[in-house]
Amino acid sequence: MIFREGDAISGKQAYAYIKINGRQEELFYAKSLEATIEKNKVDVPVLGRTNTPQRAAGWSGSGTLTIYYVTSVFRRLMLDYIKTGRDFWFDLYVVNEDPQSSAGKQSVMLKNCNLDSVIIAKFDASSDDMLEEEMPFTFSDVELLDEFRTITGA
């Protein structure tokens, strides 16, 4: 079997949106996203062994959403937190679907996302690049709503 180049998924074919406070916000201004699940491991010392084996004892989810600096939605939410002490959580939906790939579609819902930081103001008069911002976040649950199909190769 050989991997067909047409089955590789183009990141440009993705789309994403958040659900927050009962409304949906399409992230058409998003540039990139990466979310990771990391196992929390603990040492399990075993008598008679020279190494220290580990076992999983939970997990944590974190990620980074990079967007073009064109929306005040997240700044408004962060300011509400500053003024009232009421934090905010949202669900983030990410869909990868490249019509050229026989892998089909994968949809993931990151639940109970919470931003770590938001840029409150920004400019850069020395750059030709468009303004963007990275927003690190955590999440506490995840669902795989649609899975890629198994590809067969050539």
- Dihedral sign for Cα 26, 12, 108, 87, please: negative
CA dihedral 109, 9, 37, 44 (to 10 degrees): 140
Q: What average pLDDT does range 20-28 have in this prediction? A: 93
pLDDT of residue 1: 81
Q: Dihedral through CA 72, CA 75, CA 81, CA 87, nearest 10?
A: 80
The domains found in the chain, sorted by start residue, are 5-41+54-146 (2.30.110.40)
Q: Cα(14)–Cα(79) distance, rounded to whole angstroms? A: 30
Residues 73-110 have pLDDT tens digits of 999 999 999 999 999 999 999 999 999 999 999 999 99
Helix H or strand E segment including 75:
helix 73-84
Residue 126: how many CB atoms within 10 A of its CB? 6
For the segment 48-53, the average pLDDT, to the nearest whole number, is 95
